[in-house]
Structure 1
Amino acid sequence: MDSIDEILGELPLPPYVTSEDVGFAIRAVTVHAAEQWPDAVRCRNDRAVHPCRLHRWGRRVLDQRGLTDRQVQLLIAEQTAPQR
């Protein structure tokens, strides 16, 4: 965890997870994906050590919604598929 994470802490979860929250969470996980750097695995978006705060928040929201890893992967694939 970066020092900024220690200061700011975790992002709060919504009281109950709606389908809109799931969309935001999938977006957070997709945008804040892991990327290999010479010194460490870092967030592709903000260069924080992976998983960054937004990636962790997204995963926690998806876990709270009860989605399996397979379901999450399918939602990510839908999000990243080219639009026709």
Structure 2
Amino acid sequence: MDSTDEFLGELPLPPHVTAEDATFAVKAVTVHVAKQWPDGLRCRNDRAPHPCRLHRWGRRVLDLRGLTDRQIRTLLAEQNAPQP
């Protein structure tokens, strides 16, 4: 975590994870992926140390929705696949 994360803390989770929350979570983990920078892995979107707050929030929401790591990886691969 960087100093911003330490100051702001984690994003709160929704009390009941809905399908809409899961859709936002997939978007968060798709957009906020790791990228190698000279100083280490950082978020491609906001350059915060990876995993950034939104990526962590998205993973926690998907975990609460009951998705396994394998299912999450499959979802992300589908989201990143080129569209015909």
Please give the range of the TM-score, normalised by the shorter of the 2 chains: over 0.9
CA distance, structure 2, for counterparts of residue 62 and residue 80 of structure 1:
17
CA distance, structure 1, for counterparts of residue 6 and residue 73 of structure 2:
29
Counterpart position of 2:7: 7
CA distance, structure 2, for counterparts of residue 82 and residue 35 of structure 1:
19
Instruction: Give 4+ residue runs of structure 1 displaced > 6 Å after superposition.
Output: none
| RMSD, matched Cα | 1.0
Q: Offset at 1:78?
A: 2.1
Amino acid at match of 1:47: R
Amino acid at match of 2:36: Q
Kindly tell me the number of residue pairs found equivalent between the two proteins: 84
Counterpart position of 1:50: 50
What TM-score results when the alignment is normalised by the length of structure 2? 0.93
Q: Percent identity, please.
A: 76
CA distance, structure 2, for counterparts of residue 79 and residue 38 of structure 1:
27
Please say if 1:81 is aligned against 2:70.
no
Q: Which runs of 5+ in 1 are unaligned?
A: none
What TM-score results when the alignment is normalised by the length of structure 1? 0.93
Q: Which runs of 5+ in 2 are unaligned?
A: none
Alignment of 1:20-35 (within 5 A): 20-35=20-35
SS at the partner of 1:14?
Answer: coil
CA distance, structure 1, for counterparts of residue 82 and residue 22 of structure 2:
20
